[in-house]
Copies of this chain bind each other. A is one copy, B any other.
Amino acid sequence: MKNIEKLRRVGLRPTKQRLIIADLLFNGPNRHFSAEDLQVEITSSGNYMSIGTVYNCLKKFKKCGLIKQVEYSKETAVFDTNTNHHHHFLNEETGQLIDFESDKLVLQNLPQIPKGFVNNGLEIIIKLKKNN
C-alpha cells in the first residue's frame, strides 16, 4: 500500500513532511527510535525538517494508530513502528529495546482491578543484564 493512501485512510493530510517520515518508517522492518534519531535519518536521506515538525508528526501518527509510544521510557520518548501487542526486553546498559510476543505468555492470578476502573493494557518489561 502506498504511504499516501495509508495517511489518507487514517484522516491525515499527506503533506510532504509526513510522507518523508512515512517512507522512512513504513518501508522497512519494525524498530524503535526517538524523535531525534528520526531527524538525523531525515537529514541523511537528503531532506530537512524542523524538530518541532518531527514531534508533531509522530504525535499525529501515534494518535491515528500508525505507531505506538513505549510507555516506560524515562527521559527520551521512544516510538515503535510495531503496533501489535507485545512486550519488551530492556538492555539497561545501552537502553536498547527488543520486542517479545505476548501471545504464548500465560498470566494467572492477576490482581483485582481497583474499583471504578478497568484494565486498559498490561505491559511487561524484562530488564537484561550481561551474564558474567
Give the interface of A toward B (CB within 8 A): 71-75, 77, 89, 91-92, 98, 100-101, 104-111, 113-114, 116-131
Residue of B nearest to A124 (CB): B124
Bound CA–CA A117/B92 (angstroms): 11
- Chain A contact residues: over half helix, strand or loop, or mixed? strand
Copy total for this chain:
2
Which residues of chain B come closer than 8 Å to A129, judged between CB atoms?
117-118, 120
Given the contacts A89-B114, A130-B116, A75 and B75 also touching, CB distance less than 8 Å: yes
Q: Are B131 and A122 in contact (CB under 8 A)?
A: no
Bound CA–CA A92/B69 (angstroms): 14
In the complex, given contacts A75-B75, A106-B107, A119-B126, what are 8 additional A-B residue pairs having Cβ atoms less than 8 angstroms apart? A71-B72, A71-B74, A71-B127, A72-B123, A105-B110, A117-B128, A124-B125, A125-B125
With beta carbons under 8 angstroms apart, the residue of B105, B109, B118 that contacts A131 is B118
With beta carbons under 8 angstroms apart, the residue of B71, B114, B123 that contacts A124 is B123
Distance to closest chain B CB from A119 (angstroms): 6
Residue of B nearest to A110 (CB): B105
